[in-house]
Chain A
Amino acid sequence: MNPLSVSLRQALLQVLNVLVIISSALVMWKGLSMWTNTESPIVVVLTTSMEPAFGRGDLLFLAKPTTEFQVGDIVVYALEGREIPIVHRVLNVHTLLDGDVKQYLLTKGDNNGTPDHALYGEHQPGKLWITTDEVVGKVYGYAPYVGYLTIAMADFPQLKVVLLGALGLFALLTRE
């Protein structure tokens, strides 16, 4: 047999392996997303506004509840014009009888002095509540520090390149 064709076959197999790993990770993430009914079922805390409950780098497990939101729930919400979603606790709940909007919520960070009106009004002046459709999910579970790597990668973009490069090379060059 021609040795060149064997090595070509080997290389193609390696590439296929990498693709399988990537696609299975994607399938798992999307499956989790469907099961929890939220676009991002796992998020990393970036700020200290929920100390001492959640600190920077902590991992939160989210889901969209089928029931209404309650006072005391910790929710992740995304505001129009603001890139990074916010993790804060629900302070007030007003449930509408009917209509498109189901609930009006007021939130506050445990470590903040006042409710989030200033955040709501940042890009939408006069906005006093968030509505249910702005809520990405409710926090059901918690694991400390696990997400610190993503914060490190955001703070030092070179780290991301190095890590991804190393992983890719490792996957491609390893031979069984």
Chain B
Amino acid sequence: MHSLWSRVNTVFGFATSVLLALAAAIALTSTWELLTPTHVPAVGPAGTMDPYGNVLAPLALSLNVSSATLIRGSRAAQYKYQTYFHAPAVFVALQFDATADLRALFQWNTKQVYAVVTVAYQAPGFPTNKITVWDTIITNVDDARLMVVNAENKYAITDVQYRDAARFNGLPITARLEWCVHTYVGATRCAAMPDELAAKFTLPANVGERVSYRGDRGGAGANGA
């Protein structure tokens, strides 16, 4: 039978199948290679020019922590870090620099890149802890040359045992730059900078103290210190 309804049905079904196949093809051909950490180069390509024709220096994949402070818990600290629902005994304040050339992550199916600086540490009872320090969303390849200079942590760095004021004293920390690639259609996955580029440092020994890592960094921040 070739009634109007069966024609509509056939056209609609065919259109759906074609759309599905197209979406699947896009998802399968575009995402996988983006998601390996090596896809972000250790040193970005040279020869990039700014809008005025000046040649820009290539950007290395780097993260340097320049100082860390253990701040005693207070109303002021709670307001600063927007911690309105509990009163941690201690906050960590970090200063850091980060650079990365994330342009290679932008291909035809890339909608946005979520770049994030994290700190990881071990604490009694909790073998792995990871806290977001800072993040940004990049939606345009023109903004994908990441240059963060002397930034402070955007989010509160507090532990799950937040009443313990000595929780962070002298704790070894590993800070990393990580990123997630979001596609227009398809997979969403994350990767991080290789371990040898991560910033490793030790927090101050007591609450209220500040440690600067600039002195012993030789131009490399906490890296290799």
Chain B binding site: helix, strand, loop or mixed by DSSP?
strand
Chain A: minimal CB distance from B135 (Å): 8
Instruction: Convert B177-199 into 0s and 1s, putting 1 for each residue whose CB lies closer than 8 angstroms to a CB of A.
Output: 01110111111111000000000
Q: Which of B125, B159, B178 contacts A97 (CB 8 A)?
A: B125
B111 engages A52 (CB within 8 Å) = yes
Taking CB atoms and an 8 Å cut-off, the chain B residues in 133-185 that contact chain A are 137, 139, 155, 159-160, 162, 178-180, 182-185
Chain A: minimal CB distance from B222 (Å): 19
Q: Which of A70, A91, A114, A170 contacts B5 (CB 8 A)?
A: A170
Question: A72-B180, A91-B155, A141-B188 are known contacts. Are A52 and B112 too (CB-CB below 8 A)?
Answer: yes
Q: Which of A52, A92, A95, A117 contacts B84 (CB 8 A)?
A: A117
A52 engages B137 (CB within 8 Å) = yes
Task: Pick from B128, B162, B188 the residue with the most CB of A within 10 Å.
Answer: B188
Query: Does A163 reach chain B (CB closer than 8 Å)?
Result: no
Chain A binding site: helix, strand, loop or mixed by DSSP?
loop
CA distance A137 to B80 in the complex (A): 33
Instruction: Convert A99-122 into 0s and 1s, putting 1 for each residue whose CB lies closer than 8 angstroms to a CB of B.
Output: 000001000001001110110010
Q: Which of B23, B86, B130, B186 contacts A71 (CB 8 A)?
A: B130
B85 engages A118 (CB within 8 Å) = yes
Q: Which B residues lie at the A interface, using CB under 8 A?
A: 1, 5-6, 23, 27, 82, 84-86, 111-112, 114, 116, 118, 125-132, 137, 139, 155, 159-160, 162, 178-180, 182-190
The 10 residue pairs across chains A and B that have the minimum distance between CB atoms: A117-B85, A94-B160, A95-B128, A72-B190, A91-B132, A92-B131, A71-B130, A93-B130, A72-B180, A94-B129
Q: Which A residues lie at the B interface, using CB under 8 A?
A: 52-53, 68, 70-74, 89, 91-97, 104, 110, 113-115, 117-118, 121, 126, 128-129, 139-144, 170, 174-176
Instruction: List 13 extra interface pairs beyond A71-B131, A117-B85, CB under 8 A.
Output: A53-B188, A68-B128, A72-B180, A91-B131, A93-B129, A94-B129, A94-B160, A97-B126, A110-B114, A114-B84, A126-B86, A140-B187, A142-B187
